[in-house]
Structure 1
Amino acid sequence: MDIYNHFSYGEQLAIRLKSISHTPEKPRFFEAFGLEDLYNLDDKLSSVTGMILIAVNGYESDSRDNGGDGLNDALQYSFIVARNTISDRPQTITSAFEECRPVCKQIRNVLFQDPQLSYAIDRNTQINGIGPIGDNFYGCMITFTIHEAEDFFIDATIWNA
């Protein structure tokens, strides 16, 4: 989808959300290629404190026949809102979930009210707890789907004759 860029959208959310307040001097926004890539964030998160936002795009999609002349692709995206916790104090993990969940809900609400996404976003979302990420970051992950129409077009430029 040309209109939606998950990583740019996530960075703008991280800048605008008061609890995250991402800036170049105080980085609190990160990108991950799929959930497996979260393990590679250890070094980046080692000096970060407070709440962070991670945009996860594994470039996953599911296609369904639209019953007419094309397909409907369902593109799946996630945002993780997390904060650092203290490993020997389990109540900090519970507190992180409780603080991050309302932020995930606000992200959901912004997505639903974005006029550029209103025609394409699936109003069924999922919020799950997640952690540990990096050095004891725990929080919540919101996963959502954007629908995109696809034609049965064969692009001759990518095929040998």
Structure 2
Amino acid sequence: MNKITKFITTLIVIALIVSFTTLGFAEANGYPSQEEIKNDPRTIELTKEEIAQNKDIVFDDTDEPVMIPRVLPAIPFVASAVFGILAKQGVKTFVKSISKHALQRAGQRGITKHMMANTLKNGTKYTDKKTGAKILYDKKTGTTLVIKGNKVVTTYKQKKPKKVWRKGH
């Protein structure tokens, strides 16, 4: 390798190392200190009675650091990948979009883009008798897509169709 290539490679490596290490420090500097929180006029202290009245409210009092997932920018690409798979197979579907929530749940529950595409293509159509929701269910993988209008709103896996579902839309 010549000197210029080595120099450029070294610069790129240094830039990557610096960007990954300083990103966390910049994020940590954005949080207020305990003293700033105490002196903030928008912060109020609740008495035990007030807390008891509002016991259904979830208070996040953990000292765990907050991790911001880096996968969120990839969510639109996953949705377009599902429709890309369907387009390659020549499938036209009434579903035109997939919600961010459905894509997040798919990621959490191990549902791949191929499983979603296969369910959209070959899934059995059901309607929930209680809610009226349209459902596509793939018996082979257990993938379930809940559809509202022409949008997938959530997705999950289950072994067999629910008893409150009736076939057809």
Q: TM-score, normalised by structure 1?
A: 0.22
* Greater share of residues in strand: 1
* Greater share of residues in helix: 2
Q: Which has the higher contact order (CA 8 A, sep 6+)?
A: 1
Q: TM-score, normalised by structure 2?
A: 0.21
